[in-house]
Chain A
Amino acid sequence: MALTGIQIYKLLPQTNCKECGLPTCLAFAMKLAAKQVELAACPYVSEESKAKLAASAAPPIRLVTLKADGHEVKAGNEVVLFRHEKTFYHKPGLFVRLKAADPDLAAKVEAIENYTVNYVGMDFTVDGFALQADGDLAAAIETVRAASKRPLILIGEPQALESGLGALAGETPLLYAADSSNWEAMADLAAQHKCALAVRGASLDELADLTEKIKAKGVEDLVLDPGLNAEGRRVNMATWLARATQIRRLALKKNFRPLGYPLITFPAEHQDGAGEAVHAAQHIAKYAGFIVLDTFAPELLYPLLVLRENIYTDPQKPIQVQPELYEINAPSPDAPVLVTTNFSITYFAVANEVEGAGLPAWLVVTDAEGMSVLTAWAAGKFDAERIAKAVKDFKVAEKVRNRTLVIPGHVAVLSGELEEELPDWEIRVGPREAVDLPAFMKQALQTA
């Protein structure tokens, strides 16, 4: 049972000593309830209270880190079932599977390694490679390492994998996979070479058995593959969703350690007709830690990388729209230019009013860190300087012939400074409320 802030507060010393870095014990209790601080930050909490609070501490899903020289991919440590509750922390690593015996291996690695796509200013890449040990693994690793320093997942039987591990000293690859037939050898191998180890089984019961046994052999960085049925085939979307959900629920709600590990998935192996992309999308949304793709295709990778970014965005941030110059109702260069902030509700209010009235306009949406007009103005995020910068950055003057800029009535006070910042523009003070914009545009601006 999660404790409330007040309940936790009553277990704390209540001295407001500030040594935890927070101004009061209640503030600390609230952060603790929200799992935003560690109990250890309080130097004076009693042993008795510690015991009572222990249950609401400790991350229930183990953090597993795959390491190579300079690159890391982490999975685990997640604390919620739904992204709105807090945030999903560690984006699932996207790996591409290649075969050790592939004669084109070097070329493929190079192409994948060089893949970069930019999404709203961020560069995305593939996170690593999965190597199927169907040939000389050591040689294949050498080939990969010639072009890439990204973490590896090695797929094969223990003997085959062992041959390759010598070349990966100092790295933490993921070995795939231990099952009921080979787990001892796999566990030994993982322990010896300090690797993370994937575990596969046809049911949660089997997975839980295996992880306990392997853990007893000293391997703790485990990853689960819950995607197989008793015949060794991949389950379909419904079953995968159920299992992934059950595993996360068990870990989070029941603190069930035997399944408290991140998941690995192979979207292309599901032969249910839905296709690799659809499975990968499901895995991104529902709880995968590592995703191994068989297809390297930019048109597939790009939407998957974007989906992953979207799902793992911090939901605590106010809903924002991209700051840019928006076109409403196909404006001509003579259409008026309106200014507002990038808080989504503010943007929608303005855009919908103007769009709904059928009036063409240019809308400069400034970066006000997702605040509404008044709040942003109060916090200094929507001032003459920022508006002028947006007008310049978005090259409004190149796209628009009209030189009239309409600012929200709530910030009428900015008009003087804005005239100084933008000497070529006439600054007009619009209405305070979006609802009055159409009338203002028709009357004051004489927009058709």
Chain B
Amino acid sequence: MAVEIPKDSWPGSVKEVTLGATPAEGGTRSRTVTVGGETTLPFMHFEAPPPHPPAIAIEIKSRRPQDWSPLLGELWGAAMNAPAEWARQAEDADADLLVLALDIEDTVDDAVAAVQSVLQASGLPLIVWGPGQAEKDNELLVPVAEATKGERVVLGICEDKNYRTIVAAALANDHLVQARAPMDVNLSKQLNILISDMGLPLDRILMDPTTGALGYGIEYGYSVMERLRLAALQGDAMTQLPMIVTPGYEAWKTKEAKVGEGVPAAWGDWQARAIYWETLTAVALLESGADIVVLRHPESVQNVKQAIANLMTPA
């Protein structure tokens, strides 16, 4: 029996967004990373092969983090004390991109120095996150944006409260922004509209719909991403942006990943569980449309890399 395979053809597609700039393009990166460009739902090769594989970013910090799981502390060791070294090791661990998260204690000089040291240590395109408090974000990200003009750095994390300053800095210095809305299709779309109303072209916005870890709200993030991607394919311009999500951050703040003692025996081996937690969160999000996943553990990076390779080549 010849079964006729139903194929969807969509009026819309996702914009391509390129992170980083090589010397020829006005930056210093050894290569750029392009994501997006999808014309169908994730990995539907029989309709149209995805033009770019999803990218993996490894998250590093400007200062040694105090609240990370000890598993990560042991793993990265002394590299956590120096962002440049950490960046080098992250690149060796197969990252496509780096996320440098600035710290609330950073002065402007600290922040700029950390960003510059990372740019010197690694040729990967860079995403820089402020510490997550609107005023401090603005204080640090504007000088960082100026000091890295032309690098096509992604500035984050832009939310509805602080988007104006960050977007203005991106506009003035040829950077991109990461636009985060709290797990809601409409809020994501609204933030994209606000940013685009300021004049930032859509191909310089990464959409971060926020996600929860496995067991901590992943289903909401998962469905929001599926809905955003469906809306994009249906032609809604303000959702046609590649999606960046942070399964590493989310998974590693769960008790399951963070804590090894005093937990039920049914949770099994701590390290293996923690890596599964990060890996499975990331894989589920890839299937729902993530273009960039930000991870923390090199073993998860390998697992997710393998999954991406598999998803990109039908066999």
A touching B, CB within 8 angstroms: yes
Residues of A in contact with B (beta carbons under 8 Å apart) = 82-84, 115-119, 204-205, 208-209, 212, 235-239, 241-242, 245-246, 249-250, 253-254, 256, 258-259, 272-275, 277-278, 281-282, 285-286, 297-304, 306-307, 310-311, 313, 315, 319, 321, 344-345, 348, 352, 355-358
A84, A208, A303: which has the most chain B beta carbons within 10 Å?
Answer: A303
Question: Chain A at the B interface: mostly helix, strand, loop or mixed?
Answer: helix
Q: Who on chain B is nearest to A249 by CB?
A: B6
Is the pair B223, A82 in contact by a Cβ cutoff of 8 Å? yes
A82-B223, A355-B133 given. 16 additional CB < 8 A pairs?
A116-B266, A205-B1, A236-B314, A238-B45, A238-B311, A241-B287, A246-B5, A273-B306, A274-B310, A285-B222, A299-B267, A303-B276, A306-B214, A310-B219, A319-B217, A356-B132
Interface string of B204-218 (1 = CB under 8 A from A): 000000000011011
Is the pair A278, B219 in contact by a Cβ cutoff of 8 Å? no
Is the pair A278, B267 in contact by a Cβ cutoff of 8 Å? no
Assess whether B77 is interfacial by the CB under 8 Å rule: no
Q: Who on chain B is nearest to A234 by CB?
A: B315
B132, B134, B315: which has the most chain A beta carbons within 10 Å?
Answer: B315
Is the pair A319, B268 in contact by a Cβ cutoff of 8 Å? no
Is the pair B303, A274 in contact by a Cβ cutoff of 8 Å? yes
Cα A253 to Cα B42 in complex, Å, equals 19
Assess whether B142 is interfacial by the CB under 8 Å rule: no
Is the pair B219, A83 in contact by a Cβ cutoff of 8 Å? yes
Residues from chain A with a CB closer than 8 A to the CB of B230 are 82
Assess whether B272 is interfacial by the CB under 8 Å rule: yes
Residues from chain A with a CB closer than 8 A to the CB of B44 are 241-242, 245
Cα A117 to Cα B256 in complex, Å, equals 13
Assess whether B81 is interfacial by the CB under 8 Å rule: no
Q: Who on chain B is nearest to A115 by CB?
A: B266
Residues of B in contact with A (beta carbons under 8 Å apart) = 1-3, 5-6, 41-46, 104, 132-134, 161, 182-184, 214-215, 217-220, 222-223, 226-227, 230, 256, 264-270, 272-273, 276-277, 279-280, 283-284, 287-288, 303, 306-307, 309-315
Is the pair A242, B43 in contact by a Cβ cutoff of 8 Å? yes
Is the pair B268, A238 in contact by a Cβ cutoff of 8 Å? no
Known contacts A241-B287, A286-B287, A356-B134; is-contact A300 B272 (Cβ 8 Å)? yes
Cross-chain pairs A/B with CB under 8 angstroms, 26 sampled: A84-B223, A119-B215, A235-B315, A236-B313, A237-B311, A238-B45, A239-B315, A245-B41, A245-B44, A254-B6, A277-B279, A282-B283, A285-B222, A286-B287, A297-B269, A298-B265, A301-B268, A303-B256, A303-B273, A307-B280, A310-B218, A311-B219, A311-B222, A344-B217, A345-B182, A356-B134
Is the pair A358, B307 in contact by a Cβ cutoff of 8 Å? no
Residues from chain B with a CB closer than 8 A to the CB of A258 are 1, 3
Shortest Cβ distance from residue A286 to the other chain B in the assembled complex, whole angstroms: 6
Residues from chain A with a CB closer than 8 A to the CB of B256 are 302-303
Is the pair B276, A299 in contact by a Cβ cutoff of 8 Å? yes
Residues from chain B with a CB closer than 8 A to the CB of A348 are 182
Is the pair B2, A205 in contact by a Cβ cutoff of 8 Å? yes
Cα A321 to Cα B220 in complex, Å, equals 11
Is the pair B2, A237 in contact by a Cβ cutoff of 8 Å? no
Shortest Cβ distance from residue A426 to the other chain B in the assembled complex, whole angstroms: 29
Residues from chain A with a CB closer than 8 A to the CB of B134 are 356
Is the pair B266, A117 in contact by a Cβ cutoff of 8 Å? yes
Is the pair B222, A358 in contact by a Cβ cutoff of 8 Å? no
Is the pair B276, A300 in contact by a Cβ cutoff of 8 Å? yes
Is the pair A274, B306 in contact by a Cβ cutoff of 8 Å? yes
Residues from chain A with a CB closer than 8 A to the CB of B303 are 274-275, 277-278
Residues from chain A with a CB closer than 8 A to the CB of B307 are 237, 274, 278
Known contacts A242-B46, A299-B267, A303-B280; is-contact A282 B315 (Cβ 8 Å)? no
Cα A242 to Cα B42 in complex, Å, equals 10
Cα A122 to Cα B307 in complex, Å, equals 30
Shortest Cβ distance from residue B249 to the other chain A in the assembled complex, whole angstroms: 14
Is the pair A281, B3 in contact by a Cβ cutoff of 8 Å? no
Known contacts A82-B226, A310-B219; is-contact A358 B1 (Cβ 8 Å)? no
Cα A319 to Cα B230 in complex, Å, equals 20
